[in-house]
Chains A and B, each alone.
Chain A
Amino acid sequence: MRLRFVLLVLIAIGALGGTAALLYAWESPIPPIDPRSFGAPDRALVRRGASLALIGDCATCHTAPGGVPYAGGLAMPTPFGTIYSTNITPDPETGIGRWSMQAFIRALRSGVDREGRHLYPAFPYDHFTRVSDDDARALYAFFMSIDPVNSSAPSNALPFPLNVRLTLAGWKLLFLRQARFVADPSRDERWNRGKYLVDGLGHCGACHSPRNLLGAEKASAEFEGGEAEGWRAYALGRYSQSPVAWDEAALTDYLAHGSHPLHGTAQGPMANVVDNLAQVDPADVSAMAYYLASLGKGEGQNKSERAPSGPGHLPQAAGTQAATPSIPSDGGGAIYATVCASCHEGDRPLPLGGARLDLSTALTDDTPANLINLVMKGIPAAGASARPIMPGFGDVLGDRQISDLANYLRSRFAGRIPWGGLAKAVVEARGGR
């Protein structure tokens, strides 16, 4: 009797909890609008929205390789399965053509689509929740102004229960803090603008902060460095491992032009970011740099005095091949001397000469991912820009040779202990090519 009572109470609690959870997770649809109801677009608002969309890197994810911008369909591999980006052109059937502004803003800030379905946090609404009303309106005006494209993304490939979107309500309960950006009155306007863009639309922390097992950014470890598409997103501010401290001028240059002589060239997903930032209002980029510079500088920096080598160290003949240094007998050293040194110690300046390896964060960082990627893939030419280039050696060097080279570079130029898990990282990088 007693047992039955306890069971009944438990079932009742369970049912109530379940109902409460369902009620909590439930989001109602927002009625569709008539796509023809738009008047003439406000040109200035659309232009501002276009610039904001670049800061948000919207096209970077919402475009399939070789596809129409914003028409979606890009496969995004996550530790949980593959998610496909959606069509955010104003197509009434497959895009967001029937979305009201209210529906758009709810999606942006709360990760819920017009029909009330929860969106996966591959869409960084945990950052976009900070976007102001004005900017959200400008983004909406921009997206509604572009040409509609009829294109449906493939279905996501996620295992149960992650394919049940209601579970995302639980994720949001744990990790989504819905809040608009609040300016810090003790800081100037530029700093606040920079922080607003960095934390909000720019969603820098999405890559540059570590994530927990449930794929949420660790709030306590903001900008301590993260991972994106097989690349390391370096730690920023006081956590930076850069041998040369980043200052506002360097950050501005890097973000606006994609490279800096003392800090290298944006690669991997960051290459997309700088391509986008090159097209936005320079004042916004400079505000972001101003804010990021205020996050402090890492320790043990400014090794520029050390400079054992670098371009100009070796004499160079009239051609493009520099003399190489004496060849060490160990494997990694021999590879460096024969493969790398002719550029990295020759006197040909950037962008065609090699960067100074003693200034490379790829060597001081805690993970070898970026060094391995750079050695394998090189740095491809980026359009007509004057960014540095480098040929890739992934098809020339075997896994063992790349490991030996990485160990040699790490110890010689960064003076740090060898990376753990190097061989495995090389194999992974090759698999991911």
Chain B
Amino acid sequence: MTTLIINGESRSVEASPDTPLLYVLRDELGLNAAKYGCGLGQCGACTVIVDGKAVFSCVTPVTVLEGRAVTTLEGLGSHDAPGPMQLAFIAEQAAQCGYCIPGMMMRAQALLNRDPHATDEAIRAELQPHLCRCGTHMRILRAIRRAADEMRPKAEEAGTGR
């Protein structure tokens, strides 16, 4: 039995300690946003945020995550109430087949949480581990810039108390 904190909620999972987080999310918890792509930590489709960092859930066994904060795409907003990152991807129509998009959004979110002023260069470098075979890279970049513009004033408001 492992206890995980998923999107702010404490969840006990039955899976054996060596089970990758991705399998637990999808099979046991029914959180299907993170995708199985390569199973090798090489494509980025399974990316979630752990303690503020983007990690590959397909190569991360749950046992090393005991008590740590995991955020999945479901934690950024829902179908009925999408978050700013999701709204930006919808606005830019950044998904074609969409398989890579959840991972892209999670890493972009982790980057913008850390650096709301991330440059285009920084965004490109950060997303380097993510593969998209449809070729919507330019739209993905536009969506992340849009999300950054959307999120920045709020982040700054919160920071300065204005």
B-binding residues in A (CB < 8 A): 66, 319-321, 324, 327, 334-335, 337-339, 342-343, 352, 378, 381, 389-391, 393, 395-397, 401
- Check if B64 is an interface residue, CB within 8 A of chain A: yes
- Bound together, the chains give a CA A335 to CA B17 distance in angstroms of 10
Q: Which residues of B contact A401 (CB under 8 A)?
A: 64
B108: min CB distance to chain A, Å: 15
Whether the Cβ atoms of B41 and A334 lie closer than 8 Å is no
Whether the Cβ atoms of A396 and B64 lie closer than 8 Å is yes
Interface centre among B17, B41, B55, B59 (most CB of A within 10 A): B59
Query: Residue on B with the closest CB to A341?
Result: B18
Cross-interface CB contact of A352 among B40, B59, B61, cutoff 8 Å: B40
The B interface, classified by DSSP as helix, strand, loop or mixed, is: mixed
- Check if B50 is an interface residue, CB within 8 A of chain A: yes
Whether the Cβ atoms of B50 and A338 lie closer than 8 Å is no
- Bound together, the chains give a CA A343 to CA B39 distance in angstroms of 11
- 16 A-B residue pairings within 8 Å (CB atoms): A319-B39, A320-B40, A321-B39, A324-B18, A327-B17, A335-B64, A339-B64, A352-B40, A389-B40, A389-B42, A395-B50, A395-B53, A396-B60, A396-B64, A396-B65, A401-B64
Which B residues, 29 to 60, have Cβ-Cβ distances below 8 Å to chain A?
A: 38-42, 50, 53-56, 59-60
- Check if B136 is an interface residue, CB within 8 A of chain A: no
Q: Which residues of B contact A319 (CB under 8 A)?
A: 39
Q: Which residues of B contact A397 (CB under 8 A)?
A: 64
B83: min CB distance to chain A, Å: 22
- Bound together, the chains give a CA A54 to CA B18 distance in angstroms of 45
B42: min CB distance to chain A, Å: 6
- Bound together, the chains give a CA A338 to CA B18 distance in angstroms of 4
- Check if B121 is an interface residue, CB within 8 A of chain A: yes
Q: Which residues of B contact A320 (CB under 8 A)?
A: 38-40
Whether the Cβ atoms of B61 and A338 lie closer than 8 Å is yes
Q: Which residues of B contact A391 (CB under 8 A)?
A: 40-42, 56, 59
Q: Which residues of A contact B20 (CB under 8 A)?
A: 321
The A interface, classified by DSSP as helix, strand, loop or mixed, is: loop
A396: min CB distance to chain B, Å: 5
- Bound together, the chains give a CA A378 to CA B56 distance in angstroms of 12
Whether the Cβ atoms of B63 and A334 lie closer than 8 Å is yes
A352: min CB distance to chain B, Å: 6
A296: min CB distance to chain B, Å: 38
Whether the Cβ atoms of A338 and B64 lie closer than 8 Å is yes
B97: min CB distance to chain A, Å: 21
Q: Which residues of A contact B60 (CB under 8 A)?
A: 339, 393, 396
A408: min CB distance to chain B, Å: 14
Cross-interface CB contact of B41 among A335, A337, A378, cutoff 8 Å: A378
- Bound together, the chains give a CA A401 to CA B60 distance in angstroms of 13
Q: Which residues of B contact A338 (CB under 8 A)?
A: 17-18, 61, 63-64
- If A339-B61, A352-B40, A401-B64 touch, whether A396 touches B18 (CB-CB below 8 Å) is no
- Bound together, the chains give a CA A314 to CA B22 distance in angstroms of 22
Q: Which residues of B contact A321 (CB under 8 A)?
A: 20, 39
Q: Which residues of B contact A337 (CB under 8 A)?
A: 18
Starting from the known contacts A327-B17, A334-B17, A338-B64, 13 additional A-B residue pairs (CB-CB under 8 Å) come to A66-B121, A319-B39, A320-B40, A327-B63, A338-B17, A339-B59, A339-B64, A343-B40, A389-B42, A390-B41, A393-B60, A396-B50, A396-B60
Query: Residue on A with the closest CB to B52?
Result: A395
- Bound together, the chains give a CA A23 to CA B160 distance in angstroms of 60
The 3 A-B pairs with the shortest beta carbon distances in the complex, nearest first, are A391-B41, A395-B53, A320-B39
Which B residues, 90 to 125, have Cβ-Cβ distances below 8 Å to chain A?
A: 121
- Bound together, the chains give a CA A241 to CA B53 distance in angstroms of 35
Which B residues, 11 to 31, have Cβ-Cβ distances below 8 Å to chain A?
A: 17-18, 20
- Bound together, the chains give a CA A382 to CA B20 distance in angstroms of 26
- Bound together, the chains give a CA A320 to CA B37 distance in angstroms of 11
A224: min CB distance to chain B, Å: 35
Whether the Cβ atoms of A342 and B18 lie closer than 8 Å is yes
- Bound together, the chains give a CA A395 to CA B110 distance in angstroms of 12
- Bound together, the chains give a CA A336 to CA B40 distance in angstroms of 16
- Bound together, the chains give a CA A337 to CA B42 distance in angstroms of 21
A329: min CB distance to chain B, Å: 11
Q: Which residues of A contact B63 (CB under 8 A)?
A: 327, 334, 338
- Bound together, the chains give a CA A334 to CA B65 distance in angstroms of 13
- Bound together, the chains give a CA A337 to CA B63 distance in angstroms of 11
Query: Residue on A with the closest CB to B51?
Result: A395
Q: Which residues of A contact B17 (CB under 8 A)?
A: 327, 334, 338
- Bound together, the chains give a CA A378 to CA B55 distance in angstroms of 13
Q: Which residues of B contact A395 (CB under 8 A)?
A: 50, 53-55
Q: Which residues of A contact B18 (CB under 8 A)?
A: 324, 327, 337-338, 342
Q: Which residues of A contact B38 (CB under 8 A)?
A: 320
Q: Which residues of A contact B61 (CB under 8 A)?
A: 338-339
- Bound together, the chains give a CA A324 to CA B23 distance in angstroms of 15
Interface centre among A320, A324, A334, A391 (most CB of B within 10 A): A391
Query: Residue on A with the closest CB to B62?
Result: A338
Query: Residue on A with the closest CB to B36?
Result: A319
- Bound together, the chains give a CA A286 to CA B151 distance in angstroms of 56
- Bound together, the chains give a CA A337 to CA B50 distance in angstroms of 21
B57: min CB distance to chain A, Å: 10
Q: Which residues of A contact B55 (CB under 8 A)?
A: 395-396
A343: min CB distance to chain B, Å: 8
- Bound together, the chains give a CA A401 to CA B68 distance in angstroms of 14
